[in-house]
Structure 1
Amino acid sequence: MRIPFEPIILGYTINIHLVLEYLAFFFGFRYYLFLRKKTTDRISSTNRLSIILGAAIGAFLGSRIMGFLENPSFPYSLETLVNILNYKTIMGGLFGGLLGVELSKKIIGEQQSSGDLFVFPILLGIFIGRIGCMLSGINEFTYGKETTFFMGMNLGDGLIRHPLALYELIFVIFLSVFLLKIKNRELKNGLLFQYFMIFYFAFRFGIEFLKPNVFFVFGLSTIQLLCLLCLIYYRKTILNLFKNAR
């Protein structure tokens, strides 16, 4: 199979990344509904709906803002403005969703942690979405620098690059297995989601060094700065992780 993979159906070229992105949202949400039916939710249906709405709004704004800041440019035409509005990144979506949830919980006065139920649906969505990124090759900015590493691939421009989307697919599998194992332990409510955010953002901080970024602040990409912000946000949980490791 050739990358970028651009299947033609009935004379139309299919944007495989867009198709899989929609499928990621669909299957992720359906999986969330399936898990909620099997779980005794401590949060009422009304409050849970408000939390989901807050997460959706926060994720939308966060993904667009961080997508723009990843390589900022100012619109000089309507077409450029439309392209800028289409910039998005899952990192901004996750952190923006987190802030949206926390804000909505403050507004409605909800005290219970709400993130654990979202962990595996999010991981499923990431996995499906990254398949789309992998198949899109250099059409999506999820490719890496040139390399001689044995996993290097031609992603469509004739150069051997780090297949960052493939690396992330492998990582998501290992992270899912790890979280499934510790899920059965007596974890404090909300801790599973915190572990997911810590490990995923730490992974993305490291893998950004393999990406051909062009915009840096203090020698770090915008995504790496966001990762650091998230890790600082969860600093107490990280310190407890190190204590337990000892």
Structure 2
Amino acid sequence: MDFPVTFQIFGKTILAHPVFETVGIFIGMRYYFYLKRKSKEKLPFNISAAVLIGATAGALIGSKIIGNLENPYLLFENFSFKRFWTNNTIVGGLAFGLIGVELAKKIVSHKESTGDLIVFPLILAMIIGRIGCFLTGIHEETYGIPTDFIFGMHLGDEYLRHPVALYEIAFLIPLWIILKQIQNKKIFESGFIFQLFMLSYFSFRLMLDFIKPRIEIIGNLGTIQLVCIAVIFYYLFKMKKIKSVTSL
């Protein structure tokens, strides 16, 4: 396979990553609205709208802020609005999307968790998006460091590299299965599946980024890893309060 994989769209050459990212978001949202229609838990329109706006705005802002802060020296020394706008990371999107939702819920005075329904559409969108990351090779910063490990691949240069996008897909598929099994048991209160997803994914990303190129900010940790640590501690604290429905 030759990297990067590109598509001809309206006479322009487009990398695979934005194409698959867009398709992933579209399919993920359609799956979310499908699950929402089937769900027995119906939220009032004002609460649903507030949560959706909060999540979208937070994710959009956070993905770009954290994406650009991966290399803060480049951001501040040679600022480019185009580079700022096109630089994204799912870690920032998830973390700031969470903040956006919590703020929106405070505004509309809604205390119950609203996250479980989005978990599986989100995982689906991420899997599709990571296929695009893999097909883009080294032409966007979603690749691994050079390695002589058995899974090392040529991704567009002379080095064998960790195919970190494939590692993430290999993590997300079993995570989907495990979370679905837990959800089907119906022994935990609302919000547990989302919290477990966030704790699992951010723990995985904390470790995965050790085999990705990164600018070390504190110790040998990059910006994304520092965000992961903050979110992990947040959810470890929150999950202490989770009760099973059998104990309510």
The TM-score, its normalising length taken from structure 1, stands at 0.92
Shift of 1:46: 2.2
What secondary structure does 1:224 align onto? helix
Shift of 1:75: 5.9
- Tell me: CA distance 1:149–1:37, structure 2 relative to 1, closer, same or farther (3 Å): same
- Residue 71 (structure 1) aligned with residue 71 (structure 2): yes
Q: Percent same amino acid among aligned pairs?
A: 43
What secondary structure does 2:37 align onto? helix
Task: Check the 8 A contact 2:69/2:75 in 1, yes or no.
Answer: no
1:144 partner amino acid: G
- Report the counterpart of residue 133 of structure 1 in structure 2: 133
Distance 2:4 2:215 in 1: 23
2:39 partner amino acid: T
- Tell me: CA distance 1:85–1:7, structure 2 relative to 1, closer, same or farther (3 Å): closer
- Report the counterpart of residue 103 of structure 1 in structure 2: 103
The number of residue pairs the alignment matches comes to 240
Shift of 1:88: 1.1
Shift of 1:85: 2.5
Shift of 1:86: 1.9
Deviations, residues 120-146 of structure 1 (Å, cap 9, x unaligned): 010011001000000000012111111
Distance 1:107 1:9 in 2: 42
- Residue 224 (structure 1) aligned with residue 225 (structure 2): yes
Shift of 1:81: 2.4
What secondary structure does 1:14 align onto? strand
- Report the counterpart of residue 169 of structure 1 in structure 2: 169
- Tell me: CA distance 1:77–1:239, structure 2 relative to 1, closer, same or farther (3 Å): closer
2:21 partner amino acid: E
Q: Which runs of 5+ in 2 are unaligned?
A: 243-248
What secondary structure does 1:114 align onto? coil
- Tell me: CA distance 1:94–1:7, structure 2 relative to 1, closer, same or farther (3 Å): same
The TM-score, its normalising length taken from structure 2, stands at 0.91
Shift of 1:94: 0.2
- Tell me: CA distance 1:135–1:218, structure 2 relative to 1, closer, same or farther (3 Å): same
2:54 partner amino acid: G
What secondary structure does 1:234 align onto? helix
- Report the counterpart of residue 149 of structure 2 in structure 1: 149
Distance 1:119 1:133 in 2: 21
- Report the counterpart of residue 2 of structure 2 in structure 1: 2
What secondary structure does 1:13 align onto? strand
Distance 2:94 2:136 in 1: 22
Task: Check the 8 A contact 2:205/2:228 in 1, yes or no.
Answer: yes
Distance 1:17 1:74 in 2: 22
Deviations, residues 68-107 of structure 1 (Å, cap 9, x unaligned): 11111246778x2221222110000001000000000000
- Report the counterpart of residue 198 of structure 2 in structure 1: 197
Q: Describe how 1:71-90 pairs up with structure 2 within 5 A.
A: 71-72=71-72, 73-74=74-75, 80-90=80-90
- Report the counterpart of residue 52 of structure 1 in structure 2: 52
Distance 1:194 1:202 in 2: 12
- Report the counterpart of residue 244 of structure 1 in structure 2: none
CA RMSD of aligned residues (A): 1.8
What secondary structure does 2:6 align onto? coil
Q: Which runs of 5+ in 1 are unaligned?
A: 242-246
Task: Check the 8 A contact 1:43/1:114 in 2, yes or no.
Answer: no
1:52 partner amino acid: L
Task: Check the 8 A contact 1:153/1:161 in 2, yes or no.
Answer: yes
